[in-house]
Amino acid sequence: MAKLWAGRTAGLTDRTADDFNSSIRFDSRMYKQDITGSIAHAKMLGAQGIISPEEAEELILGLQGILSDMEEGKLLPDPDAEDIHMFVEQILTERIGSVGMKLHTARSRNDQVALDLRMYLRDEAAGILQMLHELMETLTDLAEKNQDAIMPGYTHLQRAQPVLFSHHVLAYVQMFLRDVGRLQDTVKRMNVSPIGCCALAGTTFDTDRNYEAELLGFSGIAANSLDGVSDRDFCLEFLSALAILMMHLSRFSEEIVLWSSWEFKFIELSDSYTTGSSIMPQKKNPDMAELVRGKCGRVYGDLMALLTTMKGLPLAYNKDMQEDKEAVFDALDTVKMCLSVFTPMAGTITVLSDNMKKAAQGGFINATDLADYLVKKGLPFREAYKISGSIVARCIHDGLVLETLPLSVYHEYSPLFSEDLYDEISLETCVAKRSSEGGTSYDSVKQQLKELKNALKGDPA
Ligand code: ARG
């Protein structure tokens, strides 16, 4: 069939070229935004007297019919159509006759596709914000339920200082809160209407871009028509926000994989979120966490792909930009899929607090506290640090730990040691005394938890 744009050419392209050029297999998911945008456009054309009120009404009714038929699955996108914009216009004209041909007055597919994508991503961002909210609630519940479990905190993956498991989990909630902020910022900048920029230079018709933007819930209009049709920053910002979010999910997944190993055994995942091995009968593999970690790479790839597509494009629209959609849709689908598995999986975590504590008891995790003990008795920190280090070396040599080294041996290193040192270096004291704001003490974590719960209650997402 000849194209709607047949004119200069007969509009009869090669079949392979057609398939290559067509975007309907991925852009038809924006049908709702496309039709809603067209309804607003018809309203604006009518209100401005560019078409008659009756014509506007006919267009609107026709478009509404197409929308409900598509929603009910009575009308399916034609895989042979060039894109969703052409498809809707073609069906409209088939259904209501020549008035349908007036819809595309004072617009172009260039501003239309930019409009549709902004609306689509704006809607999808709201869904991701909701999913992040559920994730943060799940994690704060997990922290609250296991508030006092002590685990080793690590630097360089070496046991460093004892921390509360709840403190560790809440660190991730902070990351996800920033992800929420980033997405909200992105949506703010995204929510500017490009419709009316037309092909690139604006239009000779007396349009009202602000009215159309308002009908569609935008907070403003693109100020420069060339920019309006060629800007894909909103996709890149969205992809960046998703890439950072995936990085956070991936780091957490890595810890879940580590913690579920026999080497750590800090947590147990529910059977529903693990798999077995086809050969090794003893296996319980954390596949879901591994896959979330693995899928992070695709989202980074989507961001890199679009950054690269955009870097050499002259103004204004170029067909290269059709590639934007597959990148953002893939990232979007991936993130949604990951969140939909990660959140319930996190909700099933059983904390094996005895194992965590046992791990925290080895590895001289309280050596800093031993040094701090001497500092509180008047020794400069650097000297106290040296003495503690020598005591650790002695313990390793004698096969002892700080808790079992006799006081008489401590006295060989400093007369400042007395019986109370054993209390000071007990795990509970090490944790309880780190009461600086944001620290790991029971009270500080309780405070963090309270603040997070309030923040989550106030979050409109
Ligand atoms: N399918 C196209 C895209 O996704 C729509 C815009 C086409 N514009 C054009 N001048 N060919 O970018």
Report whether pLDDT(222) > 50.
yes
CA distance 427 to 418: 18
Q: Within a domain: residue 345?
A: yes
Strands 192-193 and 220-221: parallel
Q: Within a domain: residue 270?
A: yes
Q: Within a domain: residue 448?
A: no
Q: How far is the CA of 319 from the centre of ligand 1 (A)?
A: 6
Q: Evaluate whether 334 touches 256 at the Cβ level (below 8 Å).
A: no
Report whether pLDDT(60) > 90.
yes
Nearest to 37 by CA among 101, 111, 90: 111
Mutation test of ligand 1: which of 13, 110, 112, 313 has the most ligand atoms closer than 8 Å to its C-beta?
110
Q: Within a domain: residue 314?
A: yes
Q: Evaluate whether 150 touches 159 at the Cβ level (below 8 Å).
A: no
Q: How far is the CA of 248 from the centre of ligand 1 (A)?
A: 34
- At residue 459, the pLDDT reads 54
Q: CATH number, domain at 19?
A: 1.10.275.10
- The mean pLDDT of 7-13, rounded to a whole number, is 75
Is residue 85 part of the annotated active site? The answer reads no
Mutation test of ligand 1: which of 13, 83, 318 has the most ligand atoms closer than 8 Å to its C-beta?
83
Q: Which residues is 155 bridged to in the sheet?
A: 158
In this structure, are 47 and 187 located in the same domain?
Answer: no
Closest atom of ligand 1 to 82 CA is: 1
In this structure, are 156 and 300 located in the same domain?
Answer: yes
Model confidence pLDDT, tens digit, residues 309-368: 999 999 999 999 999 999 999 999 999 999 999 999 999 999 999 999 999 987 899 999
Q: Evaluate whether 84 touches 30 at the Cβ level (below 8 Å).
A: yes
Which position among 52, 219, 277, 418 bears the catalytic label?
277
Tokens 């049908």 belong to residue: 31
Q: How far is the CA of 113 from the centre of ligand 1 (A)?
A: 7
- At residue 461, the pLDDT reads 47
Model confidence pLDDT, tens digit, residues 433-457: 999 999 999 999 999 999 999 999 9
Q: How far is the CA of 64 from the centre of ligand 1 (A)?
A: 23
E-assigned strands of 107-200? 150-155, 158-164, 192-193
- At residue 201, the pLDDT reads 97
Q: What are phi and psi of 368, to 5 degrees?
A: -65, -40
In this structure, are 261 and 354 located in the same domain?
Answer: yes
Report whether pLDDT(460) > 60.
no
The CA-CA-CA angle for residues 425, 426, 427, to 5°, reads 110
Q: How many Cβ atoms sit within 10 Å of the Cβ of residue 28?
A: 19
Closest atom of ligand 1 to 23 CA is: 1
CA distance 382 to 385: 5
In this structure, are 180 and 296 located in the same domain?
Answer: yes
- The mean pLDDT of 264-291, rounded to a whole number, is 88
CA distance 104 to 75: 21
In this structure, are 326 and 404 located in the same domain?
Answer: no
- At residue 2, the pLDDT reads 73
In this structure, are 290 and 191 located in the same domain?
Answer: yes
Nearest alpha carbon, ligand 1 atom 12: 322
CA distance 196 to 226: 11
In this structure, are 236 and 323 located in the same domain?
Answer: yes
For the record, the structure tokens of 334 come out as 């991936």
Model confidence pLDDT, tens digit, residues 278-318: 777 777 899 999 999 999 999 999 999 999 999 999 999 99
For the record, the structure tokens of 435 come out as 């009461």
Q: Name the domain boundary from 311, 339, 358.
A: 358
CA distances from 385 to 59, 145, 158, 368, 392 (A): 79, 36, 18, 8, 11
Q: CATH number, domain at 371?
A: 1.10.40.30
**What is the overall mean pLDDT for the chain?**
95
Nearest alpha carbon, ligand 1 atom 2: 322
Q: What are phi and psi of 193, to 5 degrees?
A: -85, 130
Three-class secondary structure of residue 190 per DSSP: helix
- The mean pLDDT of 89-112, rounded to a whole number, is 98
Show the 3-state SS of 316-351. CCCHHHHHHHHHHHHHHHHHHHHHHHHHHHHHCCEE
Is residue 168 part of the annotated active site? The answer reads no
Tokens 């106290």 belong to residue: 384
Q: Within a domain: residue 338?
A: yes
Nearest to 226 by CA among 200, 245, 250: 200
Model confidence pLDDT, tens digit, residues 368-397: 999 999 999 999 999 999 999 999 999 999
CA distance 64 to 38: 10
Q: Within a domain: residue 386?
A: yes
- Total of domains in the chain: 3
Model confidence pLDDT, tens digit, residues 44-56: 999 999 999 999 9
Side chain identity at 212, as an amino acid letter?
E
CA distance 110 to 319: 10
Q: Which helix (H) or strand (E) holds 267?
A: strand 267-268
Report whether pLDDT(132) > 60.
yes
Q: Within a domain: residue 9?
A: no
- At residue 276, the pLDDT reads 82
Strands 350-351 and 267-268: antiparallel
Domain range for residue 385?
A: 367-425
In this structure, are 338 and 386 located in the same domain?
Answer: no
Closest atom of ligand 1 to 321 CA is: 12
Greatest C-alpha distance within the chain: 101
Q: Name the domain boundary from 331, 358, 385.
A: 358
Please report which confidence band the pLDDT of residue 184 belongs to, taking 50, 70 and 90 as the band edges. very high
Closest atom of ligand 1 to 85 CA is: 5
CA distances from 330 to 244, 323, 382, 425, 439 (A): 15, 11, 53, 51, 39
Q: How far is the CA of 110 from the centre of ligand 1 (A)?
A: 6
Nearest alpha carbon, ligand 1 atom 4: 322
CA distance 348 to 346: 5
| The pTM of the whole model exceeds 0.75 | yes
In this structure, are 99 and 234 located in the same domain?
Answer: no
Q: CATH number, domain at 175?
A: 1.20.200.10
In this structure, are 189 and 147 located in the same domain?
Answer: yes
Q: Within a domain: residue 417?
A: yes
Q: How many CA atoms lie within 13 A of 181 on its CB side?
A: 7
Q: How far is the CA of 53 from the centre of ligand 1 (A)?
A: 29
Closest atom of ligand 1 to 27 CA is: 4
Report whether pLDDT(121) > 50.
yes
Q: Which helix (H) or strand (E) holds 221?
A: strand 220-221
Helix/strand number for the chain, H first, E second: 19, 6
**What residues does ligand 1 touch, defined as CB less than 6 Å away?**
23, 27, 83, 109-110, 113, 317, 319, 321-322, 325
In this structure, are 72 and 140 located in the same domain?
Answer: no
Q: How far is the CA of 109 from the centre of ligand 1 (A)?
A: 6
CA distance 335 to 187: 17
Nearest to 80 by CA among 4, 133, 147: 4
Nearest alpha carbon, ligand 1 atom 11: 319
In this structure, are 56 and 180 located in the same domain?
Answer: no
Closest atom of ligand 1 to 199 CA is: 10
- At residue 179, the pLDDT reads 98
Q: Name the domain boundary from 70, 105, 140.
A: 105
- At residue 58, the pLDDT reads 98
CA distance 23 to 323: 9
